Chains A and B, each alone.
Chain A
Amino acid sequence: MKRFLAYLKAELLEALRTPAFLVPTLVFPSMFFLLFAAPNLKTPSAANFTALAFMIFAVFGVVFFQYGVGTAFERENPWFAHLKTMPAPPLTRPLAQVTSSLLVAFLAAFVLYLTARLSTPLAIPPDRWPKIALALLLGTVPMGLFGLAIGQTFNHRAAIPVANLIYLPLSFIGGLWMPPAFLPEWAQKISTLTPTRHWAELAWHAAVHKPWPLDSLLGLGFYTLLFGAFALWASRRPTAR
């Protein structure tokens, strides 16, 4: 336990002291929200819907990049091999990394929530939040694995652009920036197939107190298996070591 806490502290300090990581993850989602979404959100239901989508966008960014890019950097710094030789159960550090990443992700979601509270008629009943939080958490599993797979496949220079090429289109097509009904026709056709859309559907349904749609749950399960297999394959390639 003391090792877990020491690793967690190290991970959080690393993340919070890296402006290149912190600004995009904590500031950009709120900035985009204020610039492009907030002015059009006149009703509580519209504000709730769009604020939740942007919260997912924020959480997605943290878990995807902290893993995606983070693990690519780690492979190139001898420190992390050194750390592996120290006496600690092998899962201690991965668990600390996941925990740190989730804490920062929820901080990013909270910043977005505050922004939305101050700029729109956001009104989500307090009793809906536990299920919304669970919805946010469920989507981090496949997307964290997807990021991990990218980090294990590409070196750190390639990993950032590749991750962005996935992160931004998936956010757009999944309806995280504008309601799916406002998307271009081609994007609407494939939107319901994306993991981001399934993720958002869980949060949207939780906010209006409706049961979770089965196809979104199955969809996220499918992507968890797919990205999990991809991550496993990538981490076992001889060059990834």
Chain B
Amino acid sequence: MPNPTHLLAEVRRVEKRYGRIPALAGVDLEVRPGEVLGLLGPNGAGKTTLVKLLVGLLTPDAGEVRLFGGSPRTWRNRLGLGLTPQETGFPENLRVKEIAELVATHYENAEAVGPLLTRFALEAKANRPARALSGGEKRRLAVMLAFIGRPRLAILDEPTTGLDVGSRRRLWEEIRAFRERGQSVLLTTHYLEEVEVLADRVVILHRGRVLQEGSVDEVRARVGLKKIRFKSEAIPELPGVAKAERDGPWVTLYAADADAVIAALVRAEHPFRELEVQPVRLEEAFLLLMEDHA
């Protein structure tokens, strides 16, 4: 276990409500040096509230939020922080380069703006006002701003939402390169593929609580389900099936021990065709977890 004082970000028993609506109901989370932590959850799970607490825009109603060992509300504690907010906005009349330079001014050891614009494929837009950028370009600029100060921790709140496949892969490369320099990332996303590709650890948030925490493999293993799919007239009643679904001619069974269920299926002499067994991908594991807690 890493020494807790070296944690980049720490959230302990945090509660936050908006009026009477609870957004976070006792959340624990930590970001360790050199890791990419994926924060997954559907809309309304509390991901953005958690991000706002970590960057000092909100204070918790209960519990403790620490950034580099101190309060994120104190500006000096944010010197090692870079952020891509979920909602992108820029000043109306500043040029891309001017925005980048304004952000770079905040940091002691900022990246040179010119080469960084090239890395993010924005060099042709350097002298254009931000309002002239396409949606994808705006998103790339927002992610670039998180990295500009060479932060120890970059918090990326749904960084690739609305990007085409090419731009997304390019950003993944940047996030990987960032981590290889020993810097950490807290990444919230709707794209599970993104977490599978990038994250060292995953935290699943649902309705303001942590549902699961672990490596991508651990989260998958803890669900531990295989998907058994075949064509049949009816859903068979079998032991060891966690969940059964029917979609047209297709029946899908989720089970921890696929072999045992298939053996039982054969013994029951239940008619089936085109049987296949697949591992449950994170996306599906995630959906199953949601249903269990609904």
Contact = CB atoms under 8 A, between A and B. Distances in A.
B269 interface: no
B92 A81 contact: no
B93 interface: yes
Interface residues of A, number: 24
Interface in B189-219: none
A9 B98 CA distance: 10
Contact of B107 (A7, A79, A85, A87): A87
Query: Chain A's interface: helix, strand, loop or mixed, by majority?
Result: helix
Interface stretch (B76-84, B160-168, B177-185, B277-285): B76-84
Contacts, number: 64
A14 B101 CA distance: 15
Contacts of A85: 55-57, 78, 81, 83, 85
A86 B92 CA distance: 19
Given A18-B93, A87-B75, A82 B85 contact: yes
Given A78-B85, A82-B145, A89-B75, 16 more contacts: A3-B105, A3-B106, A6-B102, A10-B94, A10-B102, A14-B92, A79-B91, A81-B57, A82-B83, A84-B56, A85-B57, A85-B83, A86-B103, A87-B78, A87-B107, A238-B19
Q: Range of interface residues on chain B?
A: 20 to 34
B94 A13 contact: yes
Contacts of B118: none
Query: Chain B's interface: helix, strand, loop or mixed, by majority?
Result: loop
B90 A79 contact: yes
B94 A78 contact: no
B92 A82 contact: no
A172 B118 CA distance: 54
B94 A14 contact: yes
Nearest to A17: B93
22 contacts: A2-B105, A3-B105, A6-B101, A6-B102, A9-B102, A10-B91, A13-B93, A14-B94, A18-B93, A77-B90, A79-B89, A79-B91, A80-B89, A82-B85, A84-B56, A85-B56, A85-B78, A87-B79, A88-B75, A88-B106, A90-B75, A238-B19
